[in-house]
Amino acid sequence: MSGDEIVGAPARDGRTPMTLLSVQDGMFSGSGDTSGYGGLEQTFAMPGPTERPYGEWFDGGVDILRELLGANADAAIEAVVVDRGELTLVIARDFIVEVCQHLRDDRDLRFELSLGVSGVHYPADAGRELHAAYHLRSITHNRRLRLEVAVADFDPHIPTTTAVYPANNWHERETYDFFGIIFDGHPSLARIAMPDDWIGHPQRKDYPLGGVPVEYKGATVASPEYRRQS
């Protein structure tokens, strides 16, 4: 996990340290702020790695996965994060398919269902700007687990998980469409919502607001992007 630990910042669950990503001044950083919130200061942080014991079934689940990964365990599992009662495993991208295979097939884990793949853009998380989150569910054991893979925006490649969870096909397409993460080996990685010739990825934080001027009784209101930058 990149960033700096916030000194003295309380963890949300009393144990998990917070990792500072950035501090933003005003409503919009890096552009003219016409919102009236020019003096607003916002701190953006993420939960950092959690120390043992993790609680609930988390310790046993992580131990089983590490045993299945064998000598690759330390390289595959970059961090274990427990925040607000939820378990997240930060996985190195080269091991995401192997980790999913173990989680699905091992009888003591049995995460048979993937609820989808979500993208997140953290511009201040240097070298790890694009995150893919996998939401898994064990029907057998009634458990939830999140996997997270982080990649750089200049190298946004992650192996596809469609061979393990076929339903991730459309979810990976959506994450590619909106965030630009490329899922290598996907059977048909194409845009799913935007036109094929669309330029850019609309849910990234560096994507322009766009919009068109609006006329109302002779007055013209500029588009959001113009108002933000002027």
pLDDT at 3: 45
C-alpha–C-alpha distance, residues 26 and 201, integer Å: 25
* 113 Cβ contact partners less than 8 Å away, ≥ 6 residues apart: 136, 137, 138, 139, 165
Q: What is the pLDDT along the chain (230 residues), one digit of tens a residue?
A: 444 444 334 455 555 567 777 777 666 555 555 555 666 777 777 888 999 899 989 999 999 999 999 999 999 999 999 998 999 999 999 999 999 999 999 999 999 999 999 999 998 888 999 999 999 999 999 999 999 999 999 999 999 999 999 999 999 999 999 999 999 999 999 999 999 998 899 999 888 776 666 666 767 766 666 655 54
Helix-then-strand count for the chain, H and E: 5, 12
3-class state of residue 215 by DSSP: strand
Q: Which amino acid is it at 90? A: V
With vertex at residue 180, the alpha carbon angle to CA 179 and CA 183, rounded to the nearest 5 degrees, is 115
Architecture of the structural domain at 49-229: 2-Layer Sandwich (3.30)
Q: Where are the domains of the chain?
A: 49-229
pTM for the full model?
0.80
C-alpha–C-alpha distance, residues 142 and 145, integer Å: 10
